[in-house]
Amino acid sequence: MIVSVIAAMAENGVIGVDGDLPWRLPDDMKFFQRMTTGHHVITGRRNYESIPDRFRPLAGRTNVVVTRERAYQAPGALVVHSLEEALQLARDTGETEAFIIGGGQIYAEASRLGVVDRIYLTIVHGEVDGDVYFPDIQEDAWEDAWSEVHPADDRHAYSFTFHRYERIKGSNPDTWVTS
Ligand SMILES: NC(=O)c1ccc[n+]([C@@H]2O[C@H](COP(=O)([O-])OP(=O)(O)OC[C@H]3O[C@@H](n4cnc5c(N)ncnc54)[C@H](OP(=O)(O)O)[C@@H]3O)[C@@H](O)[C@H]2O)c1
């Protein structure tokens, strides 16, 4: 099973503000939907609760919420108590690619565990205020396997670039990001 992270990050590393995304980028949301549909999506409890009620659980995906709260319930989603448990659950169902979809704490945990094979990272071309950050990518551990620029337009206040990074085989998984 491929373990993937998917995120959108400003040039100053910001990914969130006040429990929400710092931008509205519909074509990035479409990309997120296209990549993750049909797969397990693994989310921190706070990120899950930031998704508007009408959109959660995310349709067409197995939603897995990570929380330390033993009694937590999320109707229509699976609840687990560690990232390892979430990944094992996906593996046990024969999943081919599981997506870790944030937020900051869960990305940091993925970094700490060194379990990630692939990162879909949308770099938003601007610096924004925020309170949640993506871990730094250790560039020599990753190959920028694909990228595509999306210009700013009347629906997108920022231009952005999609990247797909693949972990270089043999690189130390513990050093793929610094956090
Ligand atoms: N730009 C992007 O791509 C992107 C993507 C996703 C999210 N975001 C943003 O990120 C922000 C949310 O991120 P966040 O860092 O505040 O929260 P988060 O990572 O979504 O969730 C944190 C929660 O996850 C649970 N958790 C974390 N580590 C755990 C562990 N090791 N074991 C068990 N449970 C664990 C805890 O839940 P309990 O407190 O219930 O125990 C913790 O409070 C929002 O602003 C959101 O919009 C941005």
Domain locations in the chain as residue ranges: 2-178
Quote the pLDDT of residue 44: 98
Distance CA 109, CA 59 (A): 25
- Cα(162) to ligand 1 centroid in Å equals 22
* CATH number listed for the domain at residues 2-178: 3.40.430.10
Quote the pLDDT of residue 4: 98
Atom of ligand 1 nearest to the CA of 16: 45
- pLDDT tens digits, one per residue of 13-68: 999 999 999 999 999 999 999 999 999 999 999 999 999 999 999 999 999 999 99
Nearest CA to ligand 1 atom 10: 103
Is the pLDDT at 176 greater than 70, yes or no? no
C-alpha distances (whole Å) from 128 to each of 86, 121, 163, 164 are 31, 17, 20, 22
List residues near ligand 1 (CB under 6 A).
7-8, 15-16, 19-21, 44-47, 50, 66-69, 72, 81-82, 101-106, 109, 132
Quote the pLDDT of residue 124: 98
- Cα(146) to ligand 1 centroid in Å equals 27
Q: What is the pTM of this model?
A: 0.96
Distance CA 107, CA 153 (A): 30
Alpha carbons within 13 angstroms on the beta-carbon side of residue 172 total: 6
